Amino acid sequence: MPYNKNLVDELNILIRYNLNTTLEGIKVHKTATTENIDATKRLFDKGLITHEDGGYLTNLGHDAAEQAQTVLNLLNPS
């Protein structure tokens, strides 16, 4: 199954998390793009984050974010 727009939007949210600490979350405000708001809600529904508008990564979310960031670093080395 190839990546689709929704999955890419979700990956773009996951890569915003700081994996070096569990004490830092994110907040997606209502003024954010519709894509970011919807992606964040989907991640919450999938059990990857703690709140519909962001919050913290769950254990599963941390694993997903770690893998998303790894793939990004492999494909876009800088």
Domain total in the chain: 1
In one-letter notation, the amino acid at residue 68 is A
Q: Quote the pLDDT of residue 29.
A: 96
Q: Which two tokens stand for residue 5?
A: 């727009």
pLDDT surpasses 90 at 1: no
Q: pLDDT per residue over 26-36, tens digit each?
A: 999 999 999 99
Q: pLDDT per residue over 20-61, tens digit each?
A: 998 999 999 999 999 999 999 999 999 999 999 999 999 999
DSSP character for 9? H
Q: Quote the pLDDT of residue 78.
A: 74
- The distance of Cα 3 from the centroid of its chain, to the nearest Å, equals 15
pTM > 0.75: yes
Q: Which two tokens stand for residue 38?
A: 């919807």
Q: Quote the pLDDT of residue 7.
A: 97
